[in-house]
């Protein structure tokens, strides 16, 4: 099949005017000028007309569990209050409600042109029941703040559930590791033992890890000063807070990586630090102290970072240090986070919000944060995120005008997709 469009935005350089993509089975087999492709391929032509054809978008951080919480939680005075509010809402939901919520979320992300998602779920045992309509990396979200003695057991149960879940047919041939991972929720809700156990499983099974880190000012206050609303809330529910009052959240996290690396017998060197970070997809990193940047520079670690611009606005976090993190060589991606702190699951809306926050960043670079960059975070840089021969045929189209800047038009697109192909 040949798909022709006014512009093909390959994410491999300059967009191709009057371009086309050859597709066979679930793969892209050819890309170039329409006339040239047509001359070497006599198969059926689908002409999308005045559209830009681009790779399907990749959401690097989402919780479809909470699709049903849209507009349920207005902004709160403190982050701790928001956790209280979401806990109240979660207490009303049954497993059936969650499964319905996840399915509803899949419909919405697909409507907005997302063809791959990194999705955190608190219900790994139900993943088997869900037929995801797009490529999905499931991450089991793990919290042991009330039951730290169960850390290993929780990790092992989740590993069993996700490790034995059948992948969707579109995912039948994923290279670069299994399409699932573990998500110790955050330093304030997951114990050090839980983090270490996740590290251990990740090494053994070659899976990815993700966590929420340095998200709020209150998290910084809790770990650095042993005070503030989040600190008080967690102390009240019985968390051992003896690890607070010293380091920043990032300092703690790097300490955990260092400890587990040592206890697992790895030689510690710069190269090791760099590869250790590679399996971690870090959501947020909004609150960083100057000494955190010094630590990052010294550690030589390379992390994948997910910024969620609209959830960031909802919580009124400190300005995201995009330029400094990019300068350190980190792979910055965009994600929607959940509808408990966002209005929709549209990555186009995230790109526009990012552009508003960072107007000097080019639309091409912004689009990389929802295509090439998250593909790299998921270790799919040779299969997803670009229109390239051999890559998966995950494609979407948005309106394109003559003489317009294709990247600018894609980022400005405000609507739902009416043409999509997943594999
Ligand atoms: Zn999140």
pLDDT per position as a tens digit, 341-388: 999 999 999 999 999 999 999 999 999 999 999 999 999 999 999 999
Residues 140 and 230 in one domain: yes
Region 146-151: mean pLDDT is 96
Instruction: State pLDDT tens for residues 257-267.
Output: 988 877 765 54
- Residues 420 and 170: beta-carbon distance below 8 Å: no
Q: How far apart are CA 293 and CA 281, in angstroms?
A: 18
Q: Indicate the burial class of 145 (C-beta count within 10 angstroms; 0-12, 13-18, 19 or more).
A: middle
Q: How far is the CA of 62 from the centre of ligand 1 (A)?
A: 6
Domain CATH for 42: 2.30.40.10
pLDDT confidence tier of residue 404, bands split at 50, 70 and 90: confident
Q: Residue 237 falls within a domain, yes or no?
A: yes
pLDDT, average across residues 52-64: 98
Number of H helices, E strands in the chain: 16, 15
Q: In terms of domains, do 40 and 110 share one?
A: no
CA distance to 34, 80, 339, per residue, from 331 (Å): 33, 29, 24
pLDDT on residue 267: 47
Least confident of 16-20, 51-55, 191-195, 275-279: 275-279
Kindly tell me if the per-residue pLDDT of 105 is higher than 50: yes
Task: Write down the pLDDT at residue 165.
Answer: 76
CA–CA distance, 121 with 62 (Å, rounded to integer) = 9
- Is the domain of 32 the same as that of 85? no
The average pLDDT across 95-100 equals: 96
For 290-346, how does the pLDDT look when each residue is reduced to its tens digit (9 = 90+)? Answer: 999 999 999 888 899 999 999 999 999 999 999 999 999 999 999 999 999 999 999
Q: Does residue 75 share a domain with residue 24?
A: no
Is there a domain that residue 343 lies in? yes
Q: How many domains does the chain have?
A: 2
The rounded Å distance from CA 61 to ligand 1 centre is 6
**Model confidence at 178, in pLDDT bands (50, 70, 90)?**
confident
In a domain, 122, yes or no: yes
Out of 15-24, 169-178, 312-321, least confident range: 169-178
Residue 80 CA to ligand 1 center (angstroms) comes to 15
- Please report how many Cα atoms fall inside a 13 Å half-sphere around the Cα of residue 416, on the Cβ side: 8
- Report the percentage of the chain scoring pLDDT > 90: 87
213 alpha carbon to ligand 1 midpoint, in Å?
A: 10
How many angstroms does the Cα of residue 212 sit away from the middle of ligand 1? Answer: 6
User: How far apart, in whole angstroms, are the C-alpha atoms of residue 311 and residue 25?
Assistant: 38
Which of 353, 367, 374 is CA-nearest to residue 405? 367
* Owning domain of residue 288: 57-377
Q: Is 251 among the domain residues?
A: yes
Other Cβ atoms closer than 10 A to 333: 29
Cα(155) to ligand 1 centroid in Å equals 19
Question: Which CATH number fits the domain that encloses residue 100?
Answer: 3.20.20.140
CA of 215 to the centre of ligand 1 (A): 9
Among 388, 316, 397, 325, CA closest to 361:
325
Residue 64 lies in a domain: yes
Tens digit of each residue's pLDDT (9 = 90 or more) over 36-51: 999 999 999 999 999 9
* Mean pLDDT, rounded, for 225-241: 97
Task: Tell me phi and psi for residue 357, to 5 degrees.
Answer: -75, -35
CB contact at 8 A, 135 and 115: yes
Q: Rounded to whole angstroms, how far apart are CA atoms 244 and 233?
A: 13
Mean pLDDT of the region 148-165: 93
Distance CA 26, CA 394 (A): 8
Quote the ligand 1 centre to 338 CA distance (angstroms).
6
């Amino acid at each position: 099949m040949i798909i022709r469009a006014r512009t093909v935005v390959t994410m491999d350089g300059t967009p191709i005017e009057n371009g086309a993509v050859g597709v066979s089975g679930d793969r892209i087999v050819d890309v170039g000028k329409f006339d040239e492709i047509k001359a070497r391929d006599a198969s059926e032509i689908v002409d999308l007309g005045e559209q830009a054809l681009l790779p399907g978008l990749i959401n690097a951080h989402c919780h479809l569990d909470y699709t049903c919480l849209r507009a349920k939680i207005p902004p709160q005075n403190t982050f701790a209050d928001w956790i209280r509010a979401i806990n109240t809402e979660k207490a009303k939901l049954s497993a059936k409600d969650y499964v319905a919520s996840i399915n509803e979320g899949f419909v919405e992300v697909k409507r907005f042109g997302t063809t791959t998602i990194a999705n955190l779920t608190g219900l790994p045992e139900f993943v088997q029941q869900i037929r995801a309509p797009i490529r999905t990396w499931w991450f089991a979200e793990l919290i042991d703040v009330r039951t730290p003695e169960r850390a290993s057991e929780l990790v092992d149960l989740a590993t069993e559930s996700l490790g034995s879940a059948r992948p969707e047919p579109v995912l039948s041939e994923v290279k670069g590791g299994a399409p699932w991972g573990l998500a110790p929720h955050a330093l304030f809700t997951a114990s050090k033992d839980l983090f270490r156990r996740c590290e251990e499983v990740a090494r053994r099974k070659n899976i990815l890890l993700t966590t929420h880190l340095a998200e709020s000012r209150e998290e910084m206050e809790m770990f650095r000063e042993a005070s503030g609303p989040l600190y008080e809330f967690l102390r009240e529910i019985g968390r051992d807070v003896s690890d607070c009052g010293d380091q920043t959240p990032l300092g703690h996290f790097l300490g955990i990586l260092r400890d587990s690396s040592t206890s697992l017998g790895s030689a510690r060197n710069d190269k090791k630090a760099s590869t250790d970070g590679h399996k971690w997809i870090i959501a947020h990193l909004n609150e960083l102290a100057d000494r955190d940047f010094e630590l990052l520079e010294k550690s030589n670690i390379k992390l994948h970072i997910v910024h969620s611009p609209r959830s960031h606005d909802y919580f009124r976090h400190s300005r995201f240090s995009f330029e400094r993190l990019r300068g350190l060589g980190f792979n910055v991606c965009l994600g929607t986070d959940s509808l408990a702190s966002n209005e929709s699951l549209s990555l186009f809306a995230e790109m526009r919000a990012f552009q508003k926050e960072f107007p000097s960043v080019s639309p091409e670079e912004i689009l990389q944060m929802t295509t090439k960059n998250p593909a790299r975070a998921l270790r799919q840089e040779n299969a997803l995120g670009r229109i390239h021969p051999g890559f998966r045929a995950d494609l979407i189209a948005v309106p394109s005008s003559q003489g317009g800047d294709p990247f600018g038009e894609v980022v400005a697109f405000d609507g739902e997709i009416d043409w999509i192909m997943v594999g």
